[in-house]
Amino acid sequence: MRLAVIGHPIAHSLSPVLHEQWLRASGLFGRYEALDVTPDEIEDLFQQMRDGVWDGFNVTIPYKEAVIPYLDTLDVAAEAAGAVNTVYKRDGKLIGTNTDGAGLVAALDRWTDWTGHVLVIGAGGAARGIISALPTRDVTVTNRTMERAERLADAFGIEAQALTDVEIARYDVIIQTTSVGMDGVDSPRSLKGLRQNTVVCDIIYRPLVTPFLKEAAKADAKIVNGTAMFVGQGALAFEYWTGVRPDQLVGMKLIERLLEE
């Protein structure tokens, strides 16, 4: 079995370590590579998959939309997200899916039953994929640019609010989907008023604990770092390719250990 993640740049990716560990644990013979590809190489790469050279791909920045013309079809998750992060083959056809949202939801199931109010911070592709997978429509989306929040909210029939108007105490689950915090300094907004035991997730995993999560921890919230989404989406992709459901907890411990080194 030959698998890969494609993107540019890609050297920083932890996907090969994660998936090769799962391949070994599952007793499957194969390898998982990181391929740094240029736009003009994409078509040939998917032709190779049709020819049996590759069994599956993960797709990351900047190609989550660019690969769509080279696929035969998109499933419901990819259609809803407007982007592809996993490609698998069935009956000779290349199918694009998006496991980001479903992977995060599955990971967060350990902390919430989704009966309360959910706040999603951000209105980009990650937010769209996550909202499409949420098992509730009691969701508010907020963003610095209100127009983008309203557009995303209209697409899913949910509420939109300006970032400065959000009442944090109202929410039981808060999911931060923007890149703010990757510098280890900034936060998308204050969590003043955060209730104890609120589930607060930041999909950033470098750093493992962002300023946003540090503030949440001070309020005794249940904090969930970005490894939940990274490992969750990877586990679903692995299952599409192999039919095997890998151990996500082992995967999270592996990735967290690597990020702490």
- In the annotated binding site for NADP(+), the residues are 122-126, 143-148, 203, 226
- Is residue 64 annotated as part of the catalytic site, yes or no? yes
| Bridge partners, 4 (sequence order) | 33, 57
Task: Considering the candidates 64, 93, 218, 222, report the single residue annotated as catalytic.
Answer: 64
- 91 Rama sector, left if φ>0, alpha if ψ -120 to 50, beta otherwise: left
Contact in structure between 3 and 57 (CB atoms under 8 Å): yes
β-strand pairing of 86-90 with 222-224: unpaired
Query: What whole-number distance in Å separates Cα of residue 86 and Cα of residue 125?
Result: 15
User: From CA 173, how far away is CA 221, in angstroms rounded?
Assistant: 10
Rounded-to-integer distance, Cα 142 and Cα 183, Å: 21
**Secondary structure of the chain: what % helix, strand, coil (to 5)?**
40, 20, 40
**CA 109/CA 126 separation, integer angstroms:** 18
For the chain, first and last CA: distance in Å?
30
User: Contact, 31 vs 22, CB < 8 A?
Assistant: no
Nearest to 95 by CA among 57, 123, 61: 57
Question: Which residue(s) pair with 73 in the sheet?
Answer: 95
| 158 in Cβ contact with 140 (< 8 Å) | yes
Residues in the annotated binding site for shikimate = 13-15, 60, 85, 100, 205, 233
Residue 104 has phi, psi (to 5 degrees) of -70, -45
Catalytic residue numbers? 64
